[in-house]
Structure 1
């Protein structure tokens, strides 16, 4: 959830308030003209000098601001709710969307081109933007938002020298495991064997031991769809304790997922096998050392939240484990 936490004093000290929706009048919240620092989580917020979203405006994106440029001069707060993932704005030379135009999709210093101090109005096709009076994000600001076209800048006419789109808050990912759709299979592979023979007519004593180490492995991986919105560096965790319990695996309860990575662990396991002391006459006793291998696939529903916008996509968690080693005894007449 997007929210803003505002503080009475700098460095997040003094009385504080937390808001998750726009506040047209901080007087009603007993917090008027007293904000000196703030923290933003999720989508950006616009802080206004006067009530009802009027007067000078300043935008704050996700992060901490221990000292505001204009402290103790805030009377309303507005949450930016637009989809900020694919911004576009058109600036016009004259009022009422006349004259030359310039379409922007990325941050731009207009001082590097022919449209510096030329704009008189704008239309925002997507996202939300900040227009600055001076280069390098300096001077007076105007927030430009989709569905809020401005046909006349008034005093801001011919003063725009810098424009930038607002960034969405960091994405959060909620993973839901679709256990009812899991698929799993096991198989046994012979990795060693030991044989004892009694060709005589009488029962024979036969005692020996096999003590060896065998390699076992665990592999966890997560497959994303090719067009996933989850970028490198974004991570989330999956609770895999049901898999651990159902197949008796030596795994942690959670698997942390990051796009492009997988987790493989290999270890050696020692097993000691003793033959029985008696073998019946005309009998072949075979001991097979078996490794049980498991392959489980479970679909995962991922809800990706960026500020007020969310999307859903499916991925797949896969666990391959060969950590269970057993001995199988078999007698045959000879």
Structure 2
């Protein structure tokens, strides 16, 4: 998944637009300065600055669509928030240069409800990126606090003893691409007799085999996917697995994509009825046996999952399985008596 921002000339995504996947220090060069009125963001958040070179007041846009920005026609530079935002942590210090009492935050916090309101004078960001607000209703002066950009003295920003609210920025939605490792596929084929119909003709004339013209049998194809026990995929995340290869190689009647969602059973069974024709007659002095044979095919193949959250990429493995019993045939056995 790409991290991108699309900026529009007018509200509600109208007029001219520009799409960016990396920092833009000067929208004047892009012929798009002071004209942004609506925004779409995919992936990690972006920071939009009032002036070029990432200066002046700022707005933060997390993943989503913004039909009208708060400050219309004032954006002159854009910066991508590249940090891993999945497990944020910031340490606030009572005094400058990281001295005095300290408070560790890992989630959105209103400091007005505790002992550290209007106390902090410096901070260190261990993970993620944060917006620090002057007031408990998220108004007033704001500071963007990012990993590896520690601030030893709030006095440079006239922010001593004023911090009241802290918000960690959220990562973009998790995207998953599934790579089926066909070269490691395991396949097992077995033929099983599921029915046997016999008729004995002791006469010297042909006789009708049975009063039935045919019989119906149920077939099925079952697909399933198993996550690893240590999966880090968020509950409810879904993705598709392209199973066209197993369909072609094993002659399954499958849709080309099997959809998986963490938190569900991830098992799908398709059933249908197949009619098998029976012979019309039995030869004289003959015992005719019709065996109905089902070809059962089991396929097991590992799947590599590439998990993208914002700017971060991780890999883990799962397993796709398919059991098919949809191939049914007949075998005739004649025995003279």
TM-score, length-scaled by structure 1: 0.94
CA contact (8 A) 1:43 1:61 kept: yes
CA contact (8 A) 2:307 2:314 kept: yes
Matched, 1:207 2:209: yes
| Secondary structure of residue in 2 paired with 1:138 | coil
| Secondary structure of residue in 1 paired with 2:306 | strand
1:315 counterpart (295, 318, 332): 318
CA contact (8 A) 1:58 1:141 kept: no
Pairwise CA RMSD of aligned residues?
1.7
Query: For residue 87 of structure 2, what is the aligned residue in structure 1?
Result: 86
CA distance in 1, matches of 2:142, 2:252: 58
1:333 Cα deviation (Å)?
4.2
CA distance in 1, matches of 2:265, 2:276: 36
CA distance in 1, matches of 2:275, 2:80: 63
Query: For residue 7 of structure 2, what is the aligned residue in structure 1?
Result: 6
| Secondary structure of residue in 1 paired with 2:87 | coil
1:22 Cα deviation (Å)?
0.7
CA contact (8 A) 1:204 1:280 kept: yes
CA distance in 2, matches of 1:36, 1:156: 30
CA contact (8 A) 1:206 1:279 kept: no
1:193 counterpart (181, 193, 196): 196
Deviation per CA, 1:230-284, whole angstroms, max 9, x where unpaired?
Answer: 2232111111112112222221111111123323335341424322534253x32
Query: For residue 253 of structure 1, what is the aligned residue in structure 2?
Result: 256
1:158 counterpart (151, 156, 161): 161
Query: For residue 169 of structure 1, what is the aligned residue in structure 2?
Result: 172
| Secondary structure of residue in 1 paired with 2:248 | helix
CA contact (8 A) 1:213 1:268 kept: no
More displaced, 106-115 or 49-58? 49-58
**Alpha-carbon distance change, 141 to 290 in structure 1, aligned in 2, over 3 angstroms:** same
Please, which runs of 5 or more residues in structure 2 have no aligned partner?
none
1:100 Cα deviation (Å)?
1.0
Query: For residue 275 of structure 1, what is the aligned residue in structure 2?
Result: 279
TM-score, length-scaled by structure 2: 0.93
| Secondary structure of residue in 2 paired with 1:160 | coil
Question: After the TM superposition, which residues 60-71 of structure 1 pair with which residues of structure 2 at under 5 Å, given as runs?
Answer: 60-71=61-72
Please, which runs of 5 or more residues in structure 1 have no aligned partner?
none
More displaced, 81-90 or 321-330? 321-330
Query: For residue 105 of structure 1, what is the aligned residue in structure 2?
Result: 106
